[in-house]
Amino acid sequence: MSDSDTPAAAGASSADAALAATPSAGVRRLAALVRGAGSVVALTGAGISTPSGIPDFRSPGTGLWEKVDPMEVAHIDAFRRDPERFWGYYAERFATLEGREPNGAHRALVELEGRGRLDAVITQNVDMLHRKAGTSELVEVHGSIAHCRCLACGETASLAEARTRLAAAADRVPRCPCGAALKPDVVLFGEYLPEAAMARAQELAAGADVLLCVGSSLEVYPVAGLPHLTRQAGGAVAIVTRGPTPVDHLAAVRLDGDVVSELQALVAAVEA
């Protein structure tokens, strides 16, 4: 039996269908903005992936940073100082991400893109779910777990190869043939964001008539500065996430419901 065949899933689908049929005033306002925009860009954070079973970082009781000090396990200095401890954390993180699939929010963005209503997705996530969903124009400003890299010689290894080396290593550290520890190709604390990716994100945000922020706390700079670029250029900011953000005052539309339901309702309302 597939997930969609279960009574719980059927109930959720019915609820989503009802919401799509009778969109909220906020969804109608957002749909009107999207229909009237020459360029719409989405900015996504961890909250878009929580319906896929991936915990976010800051939610009380479930956030990843409630369990560990990120400065001890997710800082570039921690990687260099103690790669064994670093990989003890990241091996668990990889296991958490294994087998996760895109959810309805990811697919809603792909549908908007396919209909010519969305130009690009800028994501802070490293989980590859936008890739799996089929997003064409994707800017991964924090990197991706798709690959690991050797900081000594520059060799890259796929996620599958890194996991094979991890499983075979006596010290539980996947290594390059040169002997150095591999590092996930993600941005750690203490590292700069990829210059080309950030430049592209800023270009997209500045050129957007609507910047649709989904599932992001909008607390981490420089990405948190993107809504300001949109507003300074005369565009509108829309925020779809649970919990307050520091840029709520900039939002032309602010939705705080379930991201899957809200985006599915948006897709339906845009074409209504």
CA distance linking residue 203 with residue 114, whole number of Å: 21
Per the residue annotation, which of 75, 130, 142, 249 is the catalytic one?
142
Say if CB 232 and CB 205 are below 8 A apart. no
Q: Is 147 a catalytic residue?
A: no
CA angle 49, 271, 134 (to 5 degrees): 35
CA distance linking residue 173 with residue 81, whole number of Å: 13
CA distance linking residue 67 with residue 48, whole number of Å: 21
Give me the amino acid identity at 204: L
Q: Tokens for 65, please give them.
A: 């940073």
CA distance linking residue 187 with residue 133, whole number of Å: 22
Integer Rg of the chain from CA: 19
Say if CB 33 and CB 211 are below 8 A apart. no
Say if CB 142 and CB 165 are below 8 A apart. no
One DSSP character per residue, 215-254 reads S----STTGGGHHHHHHHTT-EEEEE-SS--TTGGGEEEE
**Catalytic positions, written as ranges:** 142
